[in-house]
Structures are given as structure tokens and as C-alpha cells.
Amino acid sequence: MDKRLVVTRFAPSPTGYLHIGGLRTALFNYLYARKHGGKFLIRIEDTDLARNSKDAARAILESFAWVGLECDDEIIYQSERFPLYASYAKKLVEEGKAYYCYMSKEELEELRESQRAQGITPRYDNRYRDFTGTPPSDHTPVIRIKAPLDGEIVFDDGVKGRICVQAKELDDFIILRSDGSPTYNFVVAIDDALMGVTDVIRGDDHTSNTPKQILIYQALNFSIPKFYHIPMILNPDGKKLSKRDGAMGVMDYKLMGYLPEALLNFLVRLGWSYEDQEIFSLQEMRELFDAKDINSSASRYNQEKFLWLNQHYIKACDDTRLEALLQEFGAKLDEYEKPIKSLLFSALKDRSKTLVEFAAQLKDIQTPPKSYDEKMLQKVDSSALGVLAKIIDEEEFAQCFCALNPSKLESYLHNYAESSSVKIGKLMPALRLALLGKGGGIGVCEALLIIGQDQSIQRIQALLAHLS
């Protein structure tokens, strides 16, 4: 049995924010490492120096902190490792496994043109592979790897199965450019090896890079990790995910009122399943996730399911945490006594798919109506208004507020309506209109108790005044 410590990594190219596809890749790597008691590392692939890697790393770490994925060891920045990559390129030259190529850009273009004219795929023609003459002195060479001339490169992908590429399809690709900067496939292989990465889980847009990376591992006598290339997340129509469908920054989901555990649960199910279970805590994911169960077909983003999960986690959220979260959405909850607060939470948890919705509904309850829904206003029953006018002075009505029991209040209203020969179906809409100004939203009795006796009476009086 292989006793090596499992090491996985997430290796984003810094694009400023972490999008959900990236977070899913990170999550799979994280879970796999945690399940095996291994390490999960982060490497920032910022060899493109024009980009601002520190900010990107900060944005990524901010997202990780929000969703609760912790990484092990220091973050590695490729931009800080150029001398290391150059030393490996030189080592390969010294060992005869790579070589300087002095071909100018113009010559390369000329070659490509003539190959295109002959109807063959443009590729480098190995002209400096075994060059022993005096090199041209007028420009700095690149370093190219000596790719095998025949045979095949084979690897067993953990998701896609056996992948076999003919060596002749790979040319002697550049590993170090003439300005000394290393190329992508070269640095990925070096870093994965030096970081001790045993399992590479990444998007399947990297499948075609893998044979090239394998050549680097082989040339440097590094052991080759196990690869898992995961299919993209598609939109509900099976097309590439766009911003509109949800290809947004992870932190945008925070602003839209999603809970981090809902996002992780949503993402883990995009491309992985465990029996027919839908709800997974992070702890469960860590125990149950296995890279070999990653789906080989693309998954689809399903907004309804995401909202369903989010509501599930809002309902499961304890009130203290929920209160703190809601404050970030401008919700004001200080004024409520504890029992009213719990009534409010249980009423709104049932009706909110996001924290934004929760805070908006709370605001609707807290704000006395500035206007009334026209249709409801026209339908309002005058005998129901008569009941409202009387009920606000009733002692028992006042007592219902002290009892803080919505069902008690409801039966009181039923009985009162009945004894006044007013249908409850007329009374409740009138009361709702007075309290909230519109239809929908939480139950009328819950609304009354949350709004409180004085404020409810004022709102009822305001409607009566409006209609008099």
C-alpha cells in the first residue's frame, strides 16, 4: 500500500477574484487531503508579472476564510521562484535533456508559414536539437526540452480513465524563454514535484497539458502524481457558465446573502455524489469525499437547488449567528426582547431563501406602511374595519401580546370575528393591509406580535384614518 502523505494543491492563476469553478476545484483538493490526513497547499501561478498577485492572493484567501477552508504551509508564489526554474532548465541542458535554440521569431514564423502552405500542422522542426556548431551571436536563445521522438505518453486519469498521447504529437516545447521567464508546463511540474504533490485535481481544460508536464517529471526524475481532470460546470442549458448564470466571484455570493456552508454543499454536489444524499456538512464531506467518485460528465449549475440549500442552512443557523450575519445586511434587531426575536427568526427563516430576502422582509415588518396596496384597499371590507376599530381597545387583545403566542392570538381573532359576524377571511386581509400595507409575507398573528401592541395599534389607526 502507498504510504505517502497525500498532498494536494490549488494553483490559481491570479485573476483578481476566486470564481465558483475555482472554489469547487479547491474544495475537491481540500477534501481529498483532509480525508487522507494529508496536506492541502496553495500556489499562486503568477508568472505573468503584469498581474497583481498579492491582491489576487488576498482575494483568494478572503474567500477561503469565508467558506472555512484552511490551507497548510506557506503559500507559494511562482513569481518568486524564477531563479529556481532557471536552474532546473540549465540542469536539463547540462544533462543533454534540453538544449538552447537560437531560432529567431522571424525564422519560426517563416517555418510555420511554409508548413501551413504544405498543409501540415505548424511545429518546431528540432533544428537545434543536436546542434553542435557555433551559435548565432545576435540573439539570446530559448531553452527547449528534448521530447521523445516516438512512443507514447500514457497516464491513468482518475476521472477520465487511460489517456494516451503519441509522442510525435508533442514538439520540443520551450521551457525557458529568451527573457529568462519559464513557461507554464515547466513550472507546474517542478512546483508540484517540489511541493510533494501526490494528487492533482484540476479542471479538464488542463488535460492536454498533462503529457507535456509528464515529460518534465520524467526528465527531472520526479515522481508523477495521480491526475484527476474534472469536467467544467455548465449552465442549465449545457453551455459554458457565464456571469449571468453564476460564474461570479465567491465573495459576491456572500453579498447576495448565501451562507458559506450552502455554497460548499452546492459545489460539492456539482460533479460528486454520495448515494442520493444532498445535504453535507463540511465534516461529512471531509469524511465521505473520494476523488474516485468524481463524475466524468459535466455538471450543471442549478440555481433553484442552490437556493433550496441556502434556505436549509438559514433554517439550521442558530439565532445568535444569524443575528450577527443579518447585521451585515443592515438588519436592526437590537430593539427586540429575546422571545420576540426567536418568534421573528422562526417566522422569517421559513420564508427566506437568502439573507438579503430575510433582511428585506424584516425591514418590511419594521417600517410602517407609507402607502397601501391599491387592490387590497379597494377590497377591504367595512365590517372588518369596524372590528379593527373595536378590537384595539379590548383588554384581551392586549393580553395576547403579553402571551406572545401566535396561535392564541389567532383563536382570539377567530372568535372575535365570529362573535361580530365578520368572516375571518375578511378580517385578516384588512389587518395585514394595516400592518404591512400589502399582501404576502409572514403570518398576520406573527406580524402583530413582532410589531408589538403599540405600533400595531398605531398602524391599524393609520389605516382607519386613511379610509375615513
Shortest Å, Cβ 52 to ligand GLU: 16
One residue of 7, 8, 12, 388 binding ligand GLU per CB under 6 A: 12
The 3-state DSSP composition of the chain as helix, strand, coil percent (nearest 5) reads: 50, 10, 40
Structural contact between residues 263 and 253, judged by C-beta atoms closer than 8 angstroms: yes
List Cβ neighbours of 305 (8 Å cut-off, separation of 6 or more): 266, 269
Shortest Å, Cβ 110 to ligand GLU: 32
Nearer to ligand GLU, 28 or 88 (CB): 28
Site for ligand GLU in 199-228 (CB under 6 A): 202, 206
Shortest Å, Cβ 209 to ligand GLU: 7
- Give the count of beta carbons closer than 10 Å to the beta carbon of residue 282: 19
Stretch that binds ligand GLU, among 9-17, 157-165, 286-294, 424-432 (CB under 6 A): 9-17
243 is catalytic: yes
Shortest Å, Cβ 15 to ligand GLU: 8
The residue nearest ligand GLU at its CB is 202
Pairing between β-strand 174-176 and β-strand 199-203 as defined by DSSP bridges:
unpaired
Based on the shown chain and the rule CB under 6 A, indicate whether residue 18 belongs to the binding site for ligand GLU.
Answer: no
Nearer to ligand GLU, 155 or 306 (CB): 155
Q: How far apart are CA 434 and CA 430, in angstroms?
A: 6
Q: How far apart are CA 36 and CA 351, in angstroms?
A: 39
Stretch that binds ligand GLU, among 8-16, 166-174, 257-265, 355-363 (CB under 6 A): 8-16
- Give the count of beta carbons closer than 10 Å to the beta carbon of residue 221: 8
Nearer to ligand GLU, 46 or 172 (CB): 46
One residue of 60, 188, 267, 294 binding ligand GLU per CB under 6 A: 188
Structural contact between residues 257 and 322, judged by C-beta atoms closer than 8 angstroms: no
Based on the shown chain and the rule CB under 6 A, indicate whether residue 13 belongs to the binding site for ligand GLU.
Answer: yes
Query: Which residue carries 465558483 as its cell?
Result: 20
Q: How far apart are CA 312 and CA 298, in angstroms?
A: 25
Nearer to ligand GLU, 61 or 111 (CB): 61
Site for ligand GLU in 42-71 (CB under 6 A): 45
Q: Which of 54, 243, 375, 379 is catalytic?
A: 243
One residue of 11, 60, 216, 391 binding ligand GLU per CB under 6 A: 11
Shortest Å, Cβ 250 to ligand GLU: 14
Based on the shown chain and the rule CB under 6 A, indicate whether residue 79 belongs to the binding site for ligand GLU.
Answer: no
* Rg, Å, the chain Cα set: 32
Q: Which of 354, 364, 386, 363 is nearest to 463 (CA)?
A: 386
Q: Which of 233, 311, 239, 245 is nearest to 272 (CA)?
A: 233
Shortest Å, Cβ 232 to ligand GLU: 12
Is residue 20 within a helix (H) or strand (E), and if so which, with residue range?
Answer: helix 20-35
Shortest Å, Cβ 198 to ligand GLU: 14
| Helix ranges, 257-337 (H) | 260-268, 282-288, 303-316, 319-327
Span between the terminal Cα atoms of the chain, in Å:
85
Stretch that binds ligand GLU, among 7-15, 157-165, 272-280, 381-389 (CB under 6 A): 7-15
- Give the count of beta carbons closer than 10 Å to the beta carbon of residue 317: 19
Stretch that binds ligand GLU, among 11-19, 66-74, 398-406, 427-435 (CB under 6 A): 11-19
Nearer to ligand GLU, 12 or 437 (CB): 12
Nearer to ligand GLU, 199 or 357 (CB): 199
Q: How far apart are CA 439 and CA 446, in angstroms?
A: 14
Please identify every residue annotated as catalytic. Answer: 243
Q: Which residues of the shown chain bind ligand GLU in the complex (CB under 6 A)?
A: 11-13, 45, 188, 202, 206
